[in-house]
Amino acid sequence: MRPTTVDVLQRIEKALERAVATGIGDGCPPLLQRAVRHAVFTPGSRARPRLLLAVALACGDDAPLLADAAAASLELLHCASLVHDDLPCFDDADTRRGQPTVHRAYGERLAVLAGDGLIVLAFENLAWNAAQHPERLAPLTGVIGRAVGIGHGIVAGQAWECESEVDLTAYHREKTAALFIAATAGGAAAAGQQPGPWERLGERLGLAYQVADDLRDVASSAEELGKPVGQDVAHDRPSAVAQLGIDGAQARLAELVTEAVDGIPACPGRDRLAALVRAEIERLLPAGLAQRGR
Amino acid sequence: MRPTTVDVLQRIEKALERAVATGIGDGCPPLLQRAVRHAVFTPGSRARPRLLLAVALACGDDAPLLADAAAASLELLHCASLVHDDLPCFDDADTRRGQPTVHRAYGERLAVLAGDGLIVLAFENLAWNAAQHPERLAPLTGVIGRAVGIGHGIVAGQAWECESEVDLTAYHREKTAALFIAATAGGAAAAGQQPGPWERLGERLGLAYQVADDLRDVASSAEELGKPVGQDVAHDRPSAVAQLGIDGAQARLAELVTEAVDGIPACPGRDRLAALVRAEIERLLPAGLAQRGR
């Protein structure tokens, strides 16, 4: 029987709970525990781990424990980046996913520590779950590390905001696409496949996600989005809407989705994955725009 | 020929340079590069990676590339923790290792990002260098992750400072001893040995290091220390000197060194390692106290 979306979401939540519970163990200070749980279990789209598992399933899902761990680790890293992005020295955001940000709820020190701890936990979690397939741990760690690292990952992407001259292509690729590349390449690596051919799907999807995010930032309500809108303009951040206008950004989005689907490597679950990718991007469009576009 | 201390220090600096250069690659934003290099290459004692390599050598050093990587990764994590500890929301320190702290030199945002990036790099670096011994990567990642994680690592230790009631034993074990436990257990794991039996040496040495650090905080000059003194009192932090007095803390230090040496497991290089451990602790004592004690 083919797994449904509900099954996939359950796998992700269970894997996240296992990772966080194991990390906390019997020694984690109480407030740090609460800050970490607040960062991870405030309801989010889980777009990246869902994509990772979709690719692992398309590749045969022969190591579900490792794939689940990789999905959870990717989400932990995403959560870590959100916690640190929200800090006063960056976006100084009050809400995230409809809840107070971690530093508003627990203070800045615990927000820094929760983010740090989530990064560590992500890598520990991969190692804890690689016992059956030790030869897959190094490539998987490599793929996921690259997505967040200083060379081409989200840390690099965020750091472009501190430069006077910004490499816009690198900025978008790293700030958002990097985690999607890790989702597709990581899903393949967890299932014992070469990650390289899967990078293009993730990159195009990640760029599409960023364009959709930029559209939401101008065309959604704060209620719909679960965080403040108009942040790109407020922080003078590069945005596809500022560059191309709303219509141009929508056309760019459609183009990226086509390129993403065309980029899916041959695999047993190719058609199903293509349908899922299209549905996912549809879901990302702000309600106002989706209606307006038809 | 036996490696000298100079050889060991060269191995560490080369391994750090390889790790940082590989991490930076061709994509890292220029200011982030400089912040990361500032954090890593401001001269430090390299006490933890030296200990890791000393244990790997005592165990036969059959995988020097992996041992060097483990030593470098441990130091990268130590540097990351210093950068984040120095942030305005924690110690708000102006200087570290005799230089401006990263946030003073490059701003708070790049200090947060440099710390995050160094944590990621530490785990990537292990994976990059485990190709010859894939089965050692999971235990090594586990040992090193535990030392910095939310359950028993330095993130947990730092988070005790945010609690109203502090578990002092856990605080000292995690804030300082954890990285020393990772040094000894990690050195053994890199050399293909069981890490468990090596934990006691690291724990005792780490606690000794903390006592020595507390003594230096009251009995050194800022010039000798390369950072401001009197920080424990200023921040009302738990300290062995506050608890036991200067003489009591010195007695405790001697006791810990004896326990550390007694805890060295049987191995080819046991005697040499014991001598090294004693010399290391001697080096840690503040000049004023070392003279006064004789």
What does the DSSP assignment read for B256-291?
HHHHHHHTPPS-TTHHHHHHHHHHHHHHHS-HHHHH
* Residue A292 reports pLDDT greater than 50: no
* Residue B242 reports pLDDT greater than 90: no
Of the candidates B27, B80, B148, which has its C-beta nearest A170's C-beta?
A: B27
Q: How far is A131 from chain B (nearest CA, A)?
A: 8
What local confidence, expressed as pLDDT, does residue A1 receive?
A: 47
B136: nearest CA in chain A?
A: A134
Nearest-angstrom CA–CA distance, B171 and B250: 20
**Count of residues making up chain A:** 294
B247 dihedral zone (left: phi>0; alpha: psi -120 to 50; beta): alpha
> What number is the ipTM of this complex?
0.91
**Residue A294's pLDDT band (cuts 50, 70, 90):** very low
pLDDT digits (tens, 9 = 90+) for B132-168: 999 999 999 999 999 999 999 999 999 999 999 888 7
Q: With contacts defined as CB-CB under 8 Å, which chain A residues touch B174?
A: 27
pLDDT digits (tens, 9 = 90+) for B14-64: 999 999 999 999 999 999 999 999 999 988 889 999 999 999 999 999 999
Counted across chains A and B, CB pairs separated by less than 8 A come out at 210
B163/A113 Cβ within 8 A: no
Report pTM.
0.92
**Ordered structural domains, chain B, with CATH:** 5-292 (1.10.600.10)
Of the candidates A22, A109, A161, which has its C-beta nearest B162's C-beta?
A: A109
* Residue B257 reports pLDDT greater than 50: yes
Q: How far is A88 from chain B (nearest CA, A)?
A: 9
**Count of residues making up chain B:** 294
pLDDT digits (tens, 9 = 90+) for A48-103: 999 999 999 999 999 999 999 999 999 999 999 999 999 999 999 999 988 999 99
A107 dihedral zone (left: phi>0; alpha: psi -120 to 50; beta): left
To 5 degrees, how large is the angle CA A131–CA B133–CA B61? 125
B33: nearest CA in chain A?
A: A150
* Residue B1 reports pLDDT greater than 60: no
List CB contacts of B161: < 8 A, sequence separation 6 or more: A109, B90, B171, B237
A86: nearest CA in chain B?
A: B109
What local confidence, expressed as pLDDT, does residue B282 receive?
A: 83
Q: What would the two tokens of residue A200 be?
A: 């293009």
* Residue B291 reports pLDDT greater than 60: no
